[in-house]
Structure 1
């Protein structure tokens, strides 16, 4: 009997030992530093609670009017505004208003956090090729990793609640912002950059006044994808305590409530369509404006 016959068993034993070591190290880390890490995210939790209270505790006509105004300024389309109005009125009529507002507040906060983190990373990747080569494989892994896997480390670190769900959603939804920001800046016409150099523009001036404005339509496409991924992940994050439309869907699945599941699912679809149409319309408006300016 050769040593090759024992090779599979040796591999399994080594893998098991490595898994036990990693799991034990992660548990010890969470026990020692979990509370400290949790306190670091207190401002994020406060921002989320403020957004949620603003939408759920304000009079619904005021909230509805504010959303319609945002939809109008983003799209400048009465069709999108009318569709938003009808969708939200139906959501309210079927008693899903509070959960919908909680979902919208979560998507809003997640998108803001993803932009704050993703835009600088995308800009840096467009400027430094070595960073681009390092970050791109990480983004590939993040975009192919099953969404449920993101829940495991945040729950072990922070437990169950809004903030762990928010962090999982941001990690899942941030790659498009980074990729599209990097791509949009790299697609800026080299002749325009050479013209900026001829006028004596500094690196910051070229980025702020030439590259970022011209890359905005592409960046908005990334924002659109981030919003859609956030909405998809918010439903999954309901498993760890994220409030909103995802919780009734999970309840409907576990208790076989067909009507509850369908209504809340349709509400999610309605919100997704509103965000998608408004953000796409805004991106097209930016594109037309830049075509006129640079003629």
Structure 2
């Protein structure tokens, strides 16, 4: 039996992995797949892919593109969630800031450099015409670090997925000043090159299984109630999230899409130049 390790954020987007693991869908294909939570997000997963701690990662599109360009020996095999991710822009409950435009010179809490919270802060600043060279960042590790930094005042605002942070807005830990959606499909599946070379067909089987689950995910009876309880979310918030979230149906990442994302990242000064698509993506269904 082949051992494979997959990592992702412990959020509602990845519940299909829980379902397929619980159903032993991979074991039936002679694959021993093990899941690892990464509360620190994409930056932590990129590091884990590089070290071989995990073989497959469900990561933010912008983060893994930047890291592969910077030498991560992995490839994007497909999108996982093809709709945008909605990033909430949060300040502490007692913050003096009342509007997003007040944050132009403020210190931004980020989980890691190269993470979604870092890159989306740049996207937000670019959208608002701020000077990107003047942005100030404080690395806080994860969501809990963001809570601490905004509470003690060592950082001024923190961007994290809207629905994950909604309970913190509801209980008064954060105030949300607004949202910033990603200008691209939000999550992709990345696989280490070594694994793709040695176990290509097994990776195909993993993708087929998870794609079959996400294809029918919204029609699972009472899935909204299940997610509400598991992730401690209000039912109406989960229902809203389900209504705007679209998973991939198994179609590969295209050269056109990867080129478009890179063009946007160049405009944001996140990457310096475009890479050929064959350095970034691997078509699993040739």
TM-score, with structure 2 as normaliser: 0.27
More strand per residue: 2
TM-score, with structure 1 as normaliser: 0.27
Larger radius of gyration: 1
Give the number of the structure with larger relative contact order, counting CA–CA contacts within 8 Å between residues 6 or more apart.
2
More helix per residue: 1
